Amino acid sequence: MKTLLYVLYGGKSVEHEISLKSAYTVMQSIDESKFDLYPIYITRSGCWFSRGKLSGKTFLPGDLILEAAEEEPAGTIGRILTELFTLEGPKVVLPILHGSNGEDGTIQGMLELLNVPYVGNGVLASALTLDKALAKEVLASGGLPQAGYRTFPYRNWSEDRDHVISLIEGNIGFPCYVKPGSLGSSIGISRCERREELEIAIEEAYRYDGKIVVEKEVRGREIQVAVMGNEYPLVSLPGEFIQDKTFFDYNAKYIDGRLSMSIPAEIPDILVNRIRQMAEQAYLALNCSGLARVDIFLDAEGALYVNEVNALPGFTAFSMYPVMWERTHGTSYSELIEKLIDYAFNRHADKQRLQYTKE
């Protein structure tokens, strides 16, 4: 019997378009001899729609967006769960939902209630990794080095802007980066070299979140490492994007098309080992499972700093995560998806052993 694979994509998030790009590539790679594919599109308002089982791979990226009259999200979710999730056979969910309401533990909590296996991190790890401020606190408690940073809830800014600016100038300095507290894909992030830029950047970041993180710039290289697995994770060779911009922004990641990958990154072996160990340590510290990408700064003196852990790295044609596994173990894109599905089933099976009564 084939496995029923539900791919959730789109989502109520500013990273909606990134989800479409990732989901398209993922669905093109599914082995239809092993899986019955059920794409489920989530609109920007949170409604769920599906055309049922997808047969063949002749669809185009634009076909992923389903046009339908908007309804109350609860009604559409209930309809999908009743019509699709009650089908007989082994089931697994692949949530390709970047950012809010998908990468933050929200959808993971729902899938836990449904008691269905799903690919990727659980509720806690998803919530932690998307919340940059809380993730930094956990990483710091694990002894992992990070660049200097400060966190500011919106009330600090609304009550005393000058005080926030003074704290940033005195404790972080310039250049610095201003980021929304919970978001990815470099959306809402700005690099600042002076006070005038800082004020604009803070306002921009607060558009996307009620909390911001301001970080000291580390002059050097950003190295990326792919990690996958549950209790005993595997760690890829490190890679990096070669680019001519100081700041690796949204356009550089998804639009310009001028990025080139260096995998493995040209780094001395002793640093490669340290980077891979640090990536595994960060993965475990944040209770990750399934997959994550760990980004690490390497400065000119050879010092390493964890930048962030991305619980749902992109799977687009320009994404580093799948390519790092191909260069590390020769793992193809399709094989990678199946490995991640296996991890989902293994984690789900482990949870079924838990007891929920006192007897």
pLDDT digit string, tens, across residues 84-120: 999 999 999 999 999 889 999 999 999 999 999 999 9
185 is catalytic: yes
Handedness of CA 329, 331, 336, 338 (dihedral sign): negative
How confident is the model over 66-80, as a mean pLDDT? 88
Catalytic residue among 182, 240, 319, 338: 319
pLDDT in tens, 244-282: 655 555 555 544 555 789 999 999 999 999 999 999 999
**Is pLDDT of 213 > 90?**
yes
pLDDT at 136: 94
More confident site: 100 or 80: 80
45 is catalytic: no
Give the 3-state secondary structure of residue 159. Answer: helix
The rounded distance, in Å, linking the Cα atoms of 252 and 238 is 20
Catalytic residue among 15, 217, 240, 338: 15
pLDDT at 49: 95
Q: Record the pTM.
A: 0.90
Token pair recorded at residue 289: 């499972």
How confident is the model over 278-299, as a mean pLDDT? 97
Token pair recorded at residue 94: 């692949």
pLDDT at 299: 94
Confidence at 290, pLDDT banded by 50, 70, 90: very high
Catalytic residue among 185, 190, 236, 289: 185
Domains of the chain with bracketed CATH: 3-118 (3.40.50.20), 148-216 (3.30.1490.20), 220-350 (3.30.470.20)
How confident is the model over 224-231, as a mean pLDDT? 97
pLDDT at 318: 75
Give how far Cα 192 sits from Cα of 31, 135, 162, 260, 323, Å.
46, 23, 16, 26, 32
Selection from 247, 296, 246 nearest residue 267 by Cα: 296
Token pair 């992030």 in the structure block, residue = 189
* Peptide bond just before 73 cis, omega within 30 deg: no
Q: Is residue 243 within 8 Å of residue 258, measured between CB atoms?
A: yes
| Binding-site residue set for Mg(2+) | 295, 308, 310
72 is catalytic: no
| Binding-site residue set | 295, 308, 310
Mark out the alpha helices in the chain (DSSP H runs): 16-29, 73-83, 106-114, 123-130, 132-141, 154-159, 161-171, 195-206, 250-254, 269-285, 320-329, 333-352
